[in-house]
Structure 1
């Protein structure tokens, strides 16, 4: 693993702990963040030893969203021609979207551990994760509306299937803060922990449990769930039949069944 400007990455057993590491800037997402996250998740995807990812933020807050200095730098690139400006802005937006697509499309489960502020672009990020968990002090807001813009890096596309259309619209139209307990009630997070330490311990425990399962089975399960976002039920059934025609021949199935019958814990290969 390389040294990163915006992240700290550690491999703890089979768990990759990816931590946004700009606490002095409230973990705001600067230029390095957007390029490094693609590199990190490419490494995760290609490294068989990594079975689960825990994504967190250093310090008191998960992330305050996109760094305003980055927005200012983009504004400085704009000229007088509307057409060329539109082409530039579209290219920049697609680049940012690709960064969080790398998280969404990762073959390994990604668990977000959220404390303090989770604002703007940070909502886009956690929406690309498989599961979200919060400390009691977590606060969520789709802040783009207060900046005079529509969120454009995934929140409006991914959150409807997580919290439902109506609640997404309320958050997106008002930009209001949603506290941890309400986030749990609307399904934005799976569980709320008393504080940051309990949050990290709890999420790591869940990640460890997932890491103990067959990586073939976990990968297949994630692929099937993701496939069903854009397909009909009969398409999904056809797809899983084809998928498992190959994957059920894995030695993991025999190992898991033997372990179940002998009441032992299975140890799966990476």
Structure 2
């Protein structure tokens, strides 16, 4: 039986689909990231990753906004609960908490399956941390974004400053992080943060589901391998990356999926692949 969460909801697109939606589900807080979220999110991602019926994960929102950032009460709790008389121990405890919260979002990169962000409405602060960890991002025309932490007198510490520059370029990331300004879905597309802007939330949901179903129909070994190699190669030289993919394919290339793909192509039929 699927575990129930306070801040999240898991939905299968249909009884036959291998695409699952992981919906942010705290509408009264505009999907702000609470302390419960940081506990539940990595558990939910891990459960989907380990589920053989899951091929692709979509992170989305059913409400007007995707994510309004880290909940202010969570920030207050974190600050207060780590105060002790020893400044060194206060700092060490706070660092441990930050590392744990970082790890909650890095769970997306650890997940073998592709994770797609479908963004509508506001995507603020911690929402940027969340979507930059995803593999692909799409948004609706009403979406808007802000690397908001600087306006709260803090430095973004959950991944934005590390991942955003790799996605939109160093100069764009620096400007957005220093100003904290709001920018539109169209600008997000122009700088490469999102791949496509859909006209409405309905079109976003339909479009992303079609894209996810298309990915889910491909060889699971090829999809998982492509994500793993791209992430690994991001931090390697070209030479190192080429060596890594040679090693990867020396163990994965000669699979039943390859034979099925070849046979399906020759017989002009749709390939059918086994679950992972």
Aligned with residue 35 of structure 1, among 22, 39, 56: 39
Partner residue of 1:62? Answer: 66
Per-residue deviation at 1:241? 1.1
Per-residue deviation at 1:79? 2.8
Partner residue of 1:6? Answer: 7
Partner residue of 1:259? Answer: 264
Return 5+ residue gaps in structure 2 as ranges: none
CA distance in 2, matches of 1:44, 1:230: 26
CA distance in 1, matches of 2:239, 2:50: 31
Q: Is 1:116 aligned to residue 117 of structure 2?
A: no
1:63 is paired with a residue whose SS is coil
Q: Is 1:18 aligned to residue 22 of structure 2?
A: yes
Partner residue of 2:212? Answer: 207
CA distance in 2, matches of 1:101, 1:66: 16
Partner residue of 1:131? Answer: 136
Partner residue of 2:54? Answer: 50
The question of whether the paired residues in 2 share the 8 Å contact of 1:64 and 1:118 is answered with yes
2:116 is paired with a residue whose SS is strand
Q: How many residues align?
A: 270
CA distance in 2, matches of 1:160, 1:149: 19
CA distance in 2, matches of 1:257, 1:208: 21
Per-residue deviation at 1:9? 0.4
Q: Is 1:219 aligned to residue 187 of structure 2?
A: no
Return 5+ residue gaps in structure 1 as ranges: none
2:236 is paired with a residue whose SS is coil
CA distance in 2, matches of 1:262, 1:170: 53
Per-residue deviation at 1:229? 1.3
Partner residue of 1:189? Answer: 194
Deviations along 1:113-132, whole A, 9 cap, x unmatched?
A: 00000000000000000010
CA distance in 2, matches of 1:81, 1:139: 42
Per-residue deviation at 1:47? 1.4
Q: Is 1:141 aligned to residue 146 of structure 2?
A: yes
Q: Is 1:242 aligned to residue 247 of structure 2?
A: yes
CA distance in 2, matches of 1:72, 1:57: 25
Q: CA RMSD in A?
A: 0.9
1:89 is paired with a residue whose SS is helix
Partner residue of 1:233? Answer: 238
Per-residue deviation at 1:81? 2.5
Q: Is 1:83 aligned to residue 88 of structure 2?
A: yes
1:159 is paired with a residue whose SS is helix
CA distance in 2, matches of 1:99, 1:80: 29
2:234 is paired with a residue whose SS is coil
Q: Is 1:179 aligned to residue 184 of structure 2?
A: yes
The question of whether the paired residues in 2 share the 8 Å contact of 1:28 and 1:64 is answered with yes
Tell me the TM-score normalized by structure 1: 0.98
Deviations along 1:191-242, whole A, 9 cap, x unmatched?
A: 0001111101100000000000000000111111001111111111111111
1:150 is paired with a residue whose SS is coil
1:140 is paired with a residue whose SS is strand
